[in-house]
Amino acid sequence: MDIDPKTARALGFPNPGYTVVERERRWLCRRVPKEQVVRSERITDLYVTGSQLRLREARRLDGSAAMLRLSRKADVDARTRLVTSIYLPEHEFVLLAASLPGRRLTKLRHRLRSPVGLLLSVDEFLDALQGLILLEVDFDAAETMADYTPPDFAAREVTDNPCYAGGHLAEHGLPRGLSEE
């Protein structure tokens, strides 16, 4: 981890051994590049009220086993966050999903083939967020993140706009002016 330990502790992450640094940028998309999709999953996130916790159910569309986890995220800045997760068996996931208060959002996540070895995902939001399509790119290093040029299906970067973060979308819905973008 290359985050200052004092910053990590202040964000509630006292032990770096259980923490992952996530570096990510996001763009609004014109379309889902179906020709580049290597797998898709349906994700339902429960953003727990009054916390930085998220309960995630990720089920691949091919019917394979679901990934169920409880995560805590804290932003270092708009592009960098600290994350810790607990992977859950189905019965514990069901118990938490039924008892935790919060707001849900559902999306299809399409993992893309990447010629440069980065993790690219296009999220196609459902229900009240229908019509919103976001590209997320995850990076191993800040330098790679700074130098990245997005693919042609990406319309406008929204990394620095908190209205496009998952918790904000779950609570407030589509950002104003999205239809003009």
pLDDT digits (tens, 9 = 90+) for 51-79: 999 999 999 998 888 999 999 999 999 99
Return the pLDDT at 63: 87
Q: What is the SS3 assignment for 167?
A: helix
As a whole number of angstroms, the distance between CA 103 and CA 14 comes to 28
CB of 55 closer than 8 Å to CB of 105: no
Beta bridge partners of 98: none
Asked whether residue 170 carries a pLDDT value surpassing 60, the answer given is yes
- Averaged over 82-99, what is the pLDDT? 96
What does the pLDDT look like over 20-44, one tens digit per residue? 999 999 999 999 999 999 999 999 9
Q: What is the mean pLDDT of the chain?
A: 92
Which domains, ranges and CATH numbers included, belong to the chain? 5-180 (2.40.320.10)
- pLDDT of 180 reads 45
- Which two tokens mark 98? 């039924």
Give DSSP secondary structure letters for 62-110: T-PPPEEEEEEEEEEETTEEEEEEEE--HHHHHHHHHH--EEEEEEEEE
Strands 102-112 and 119-125, by their bridges, are antiparallel
Q: What is the pLDDT of residue 15?
A: 80
DSSP state of 175: P
Reported for 90-97, long-range contacts at CB under 8 A and 24+ positions apart, including other chains, are 90/66, 93/55, 93/57, 93/68, 96/55, 96/70, 97/46, 97/55, 97/57
Q: Which range (28-37, 101-110, 141-150) has the least confidence?
A: 141-150
**Conformational region of residue 50, where left means phi above 0, alpha means psi within -120 to 50, and beta covers everything else:** left
